[in-house]
Amino acid sequence: MERILLIGSGGREHALAKALVASESCEKLWVAPGNPGIAREAECVLLNIADHVAVEKFCMRHDVTLVVIGPEQPLAEGLADALRAENIDVFGPSKAAAQLETSKGFSKDFMRRHHVPTAPYQRFDAGQHVEARAAAEMHDLPVVIKYDGLAAGKGVVVATERHQAIEAVDMMYQGVFGDDGVVIEGFLKGEEASVFAVCDGRDFVVLAPAQDHKRVGDGDTGKNTGGMGAYAPAPIVNQSVMDTVCEKVIRRVIDGMAAEGIPFVGCLFCGLMIDGEEVSVVEFNVRFGDPETQAVMSVLDADVSALFASAARGSLDATAVRSAHVGFACNVVLASQGYPDAFLKGLPISGIDAA
């Protein structure tokens, strides 16, 4: 039986918490820091998740057998490494493996080395603003401008006009998201979908494919966000497409990371562009997506606790998944006025009971 600490406080963690507490092998679940909705499912604890020593002490004091890390920031900061150094099992990749998400440049270079299908690209470091601007001025349109580091799902601009491309490069070099460089890549045609793989460093199990909707406005209009809603399973990911994803994307990533000495343990989120039977990687994330997780977990029939624990210990138990998808699920995201730009915080949420 597992005594689990789940790290995070969003809708994704709410969905994971519900799945974990419903698992046959889950004895106890804590969530740090959690939120009032999660508190209905599990015990929330006021723990500074940026303080690795405090997290380690909590785990030791409460005999935690497994830590599940939800958001990308703690992974980028090496929380998984710190816990593993204390012999605490973790579902989540090391800081080095997390570069698949935390550095777009690292991810694209890795895909090129290991023949993972993706768009052609150019990578520009922090001191190459002039060179990046020149590339944006010359690149065929549409062109995709990506901030190299983490940007909460908002560091991508698809420019259909020249001035948009140049403005995007200038904005990213002005430190809006940080001081990393940019990646400029070709525009991929097709339909986007996401595939999630639970990985133990050598093997993997895929869950239901999903599609999210990133534009803030109705009718797919407005700025990109971290996601305004999702549904699962995604019909465009038929069995033939899924076979291609498993063979040409996930397997090559798992084998490539292992070969480079940074085995991937955790959830590999494959953001894909699908055009007929052709599959290309748009991006990788190294954790479950938000809002996709809310839909994917709703259709998953599995002992999620046993699945994550076996992956964390390097002996993935595929039998923990009885079915990747039973039925269908759709969820929507509610956001405060102004999102994804500056928005109001701390407002009461009304109408929950009526909903």
Q: Is residue 75 part of a domain?
A: yes
Residue 98 has a CB neighbour count (10 Å cut-off) of 31
Q: Is residue 127 part of a domain?
A: yes
Q: Is the pLDDT of residue 152 over 80?
A: no
301 Ramachandran zone, left/alpha/beta (phi>0; psi -120 to 50): beta
Kindly report the CATH number assigned to the domain that includes residue 128.
Answer: 3.30.1490.20
Which residues on neighbouring strands pair with residue 274, listed in sequence order? Answer: 191, 279
Residue ranges making up the domain that contains 206: 189-332
State whether 210 and 272 are in the same domain. Answer: yes
- Residues recorded for the chain: 355
Q: Residues 211-240: what's their mean pLDDT?
A: 91
Q: Is residue 346 part of a domain?
A: no
Query: What are the phi and psi torsion angles at 146 (to 5°)?
Result: -125, 135
H/E stretch holding 14 reads helix 11-21
> Which pair of structure tokens corresponds to residue 43?
């015990």
DSSP code string of 238-258: -HHHHHHIIIIIIHHHHHHHH
**Do strands 66-69 and 90-91 pair parallel, antiparallel, or not at all (unpaired)?**
parallel
Q: Is residue 78 part of a domain?
A: yes
351 Ramachandran zone, left/alpha/beta (phi>0; psi -120 to 50): left
State whether 203 and 166 are in the same domain. Answer: no
Structure confidence at residue 219 (pLDDT)? 87
Q: For residue range 63-121, what is the model confidence (pLDDT) as tens digits? A: 999 999 999 999 999 999 999 999 999 999 999 999 999 999 999 999 999 999 999 99
Q: Is the pLDDT of residue 311 over 90?
A: yes
**Do strands 26-33 and 204-206 pair parallel, antiparallel, or not at all (unpaired)?**
unpaired
State whether 257 and 305 are in the same domain. Answer: yes
Q: Is residue 312 part of a domain?
A: yes
d(CA 36, CA 185): 41
Q: Of 154, 186, 218, which residue is a domain's last?
A: 186
State whether 213 and 140 are in the same domain. Answer: no
Q: Is residue 65 part of a domain?
A: yes
State whether 182 and 194 are in the same domain. Answer: no
Q: For residue range 16-52, what is the model confidence (pLDDT) as tens digits? A: 999 999 999 999 999 999 999 999 999 999 999 999 9
State whether 229 and 301 are in the same domain. Answer: yes
Kindly report the CATH number assigned to the domain that includes residue 86.
Answer: 3.40.50.20
State whether 220 and 290 are in the same domain. Answer: yes
State whether 127 and 196 are in the same domain. Answer: no
State whether 6 and 83 are in the same domain. Answer: yes
State whether 214 and 300 are in the same domain. Answer: yes
- The DSSP code for 235 is T
> Which pair of structure tokens corresponds to residue 199?
């990985």
Q: Is residue 320 part of a domain?
A: yes
Q: Of 91, 110, 130, which residue is a domain's last?
A: 91
Q: Is residue 151 part of a domain?
A: yes
State whether 167 and 150 are in the same domain. Answer: yes
Q: For residue range 314-351, what is the model confidence (pLDDT) as tens digits? A: 999 999 999 999 999 999 998 888 998 888 888 888 88
Residue indicated by tokens 């983490």 = 150
Number of domains in the chain: 3
State whether 162 and 194 are in the same domain. Answer: no
The burial of 351, by beta-carbon neighbours within 10 Å (0-12 exposed, 13-18 middle, 19 or more buried), is given as exposed
